[in-house]
């Protein structure tokens, strides 16, 4: 369903369509199909998954609202997820997702939370709290709304107050390690919210990028690219990022979703006031509040006055030779092209030699071999006894594409972990 939904979005020129999302969905689909063919026992059960995740008893919970994010899935479902945390930092979510499109996602924050006797909206829950008794919880952290569940509204906490402030205490590179480790697990085994990062950062400048708006920010000396979580114009993500990019030196406390890649990258979900008094910050009516960037639209009056911030020190520039040092993008680009334009786009002769040499020189010999096999699988066609071309070997091409896509993703994860750990490694070296 995810692949079909994204293909429909591509054909309809949906502004929220991302080629990277389609590639990821197709990679997961083919990897599952390939694994099922030879799997047995527990491995086969993991690959098959479950039609419906069970809800297990969760006892009594005291939860504090974190933020709400719109959901616009490729499967044709839309709505909202509101994330909450307990006093130990465990994440739980309250979802309202049903068949629908961007209009439903944009309005879902005003829908009433369907949990016990609670009578608040998702927007309100993101800034308040809940006391839940008889809770039921699914493996992904979703709270069940069974008849035996009781829930009432309670006070919330600001991001810089206990117990929520503990989420920002973990070093950024440790958070990235946790998110990457979770991404390597089957979806049903990932800890709830493991992909979320909690960071304090300073906005620097907008960057030119073919894939959409990008804001360069600095997090304790680490340059991070901030991107929108969803490009759909019905949601506020894109407009909010552009306004934040117009305020260099602005200090933020943010929540985002890690994007694996050769450089630190984060899809921005929510923003609030950072700890401390120095520097330029957002002008929020409630100092304990925050902005859900998919729903709350920033105004220019919410930004500090021009020149209010002292001139920020220049952020460390992204490595100019990143692609030359680890040019895995050469393999990823061919895999993406196959998804966007089909097998024939890779069948042209003489288009792989230079890229294969560059991959080999960078120490990515396996990547070079996978690239060559991908092109061979796309181009090779036998002939029958009458000399007529036979149909292309679709199975061989699918296996070659899957191998290339999985390898490129694995290398990207390794590069991502190294990039996030770089400032910590430098600090350790200085301390030694």
The whole-number pLDDT of residue 230 equals 92
Whether the per-residue pLDDT at 318 is higher than 60: the answer is: no
The whole-number pLDDT of residue 323 equals 46
Q: Which of 349, 422, 415 is nearest to 381 (CA)?
A: 349
CATH entry 2.40.50 includes domain 164-302: yes
- The mean pLDDT value for 23-27 works out to 89
pLDDT digits (tens, 9 = 90+) for 27-76: 989 988 888 888 777 777 777 766 567 889 999 999 999 999 999 987 78
Query: Which of 72-76, 122-126, 153-157, 233-237 is predicted least confidently?
Result: 72-76
Helix (H, G, I), strand (E, B) or coil at 395: helix
Which CATH number applies to 56-154: 3.40.50, 2.60.40, 1.10.3470, 2.40.50? 2.40.50
The whole-number pLDDT of residue 50 equals 63
pLDDT band at 264 (very low <50, low <70, confident <90, very high): very high
Domain boundaries, the chain: 2-48, 56-154, 164-302, 322-431
Q: Provide the whole-model pTM.
A: 0.84
Q: Who's near 44: CB < 8 A, 6+ residues apart?
A: 36
Q: Who's near 147: CB < 8 A, 6+ residues apart?
A: none
The whole-number pLDDT of residue 290 equals 95
pLDDT digits (tens, 9 = 90+) for 106-138: 999 999 998 988 889 999 999 999 999 999 999
- How far, CA to CA in Å, does 379 sit from each of 355, 392, 408? 17, 8, 21
């Amino acid at each position: 369903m995810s692949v079909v939904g994204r293909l429909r979005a591509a054909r309809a020129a949906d502004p929220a369509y991302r080629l990277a999302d389609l590639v990821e969905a197709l990679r997961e689909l083919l990897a599952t199909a390939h694994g099922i063919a030879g799997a047995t026992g527990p491995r086969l059960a993991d690959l098959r998954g479950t039609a419906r995740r069970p809800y297990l008893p969760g006892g009594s919970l005291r939860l504090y609202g974190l933020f709400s994010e719109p959901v616009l899935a490729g499967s044709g479902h839309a709505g909202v997820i509101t994330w909450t945390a307990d006093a130990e930092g465990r994440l739980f979510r309250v979802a309202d997702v049903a068949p629908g499109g961007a209009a439903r996602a944009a309005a879902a924050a005003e829908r009433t939370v369907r949990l016990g006797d609670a009578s608040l909206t998702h927007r309100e829950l993101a800034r308040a709290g809940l006391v839940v008794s008889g809770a039921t919880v699914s493996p992904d952290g979703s709270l069940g709304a069974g008849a035996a569940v009781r829930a009432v509204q309670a006070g919330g906490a600001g991001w810089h107050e206990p117990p929520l402030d503990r989420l920002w205490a973990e070093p950024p590179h440790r958070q990235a390690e946790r998110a990457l480790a979770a991404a390597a697990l089957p979806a049903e085994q990932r800890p709830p919210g493991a992909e979320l990062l909690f960071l304090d950062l300073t906005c620097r400048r907008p960057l030119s990028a073919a894939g959409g708006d990008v804001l360069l920010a600095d997090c304790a000396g680490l340059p991070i690219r901030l991107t929108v979580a969803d490009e759909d114009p019905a949601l506020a993500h894109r407009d909010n990022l552009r306004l934040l990019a117009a305020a260099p030196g602005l200090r933020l406390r943010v929540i985002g979703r890690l994007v694996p890649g050769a450089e630190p990258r984060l899809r921005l979900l929510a923003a609030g006031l950072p700890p401390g008094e120095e520097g330029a910050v957002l002008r929020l009516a409630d100092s304990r509040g925050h902005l859900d960037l998919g729903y709350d639209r920033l105004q220019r009056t919410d930004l500090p006055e021009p020149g209010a911030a002292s001139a920020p020190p220049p952020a460390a520039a992204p490595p100019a030779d990143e692609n030359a040092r680890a040019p895995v993008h050469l393999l990823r680009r061919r895999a993406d092209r196959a998804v966007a334009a089909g097998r024939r786009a890779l069948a042209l002769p003489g288009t792989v030699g230079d890229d294969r040499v560059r991959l080999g020189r960078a120490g990515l010999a396996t990547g070079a071999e996978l690239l060559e096999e991908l092109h061979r699988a796309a181009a090779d066609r036998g002939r029958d006894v009458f000399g007529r071309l036979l149909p292309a070997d679709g199975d061989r091409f699918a296996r070659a594409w899957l191998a290339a896509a999985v390898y490129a993703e694995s290398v990207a994860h390794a590069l991502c972990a190294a990039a996030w750990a770089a400032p910590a490694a430098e600090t350790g070296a200085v301390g030694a």
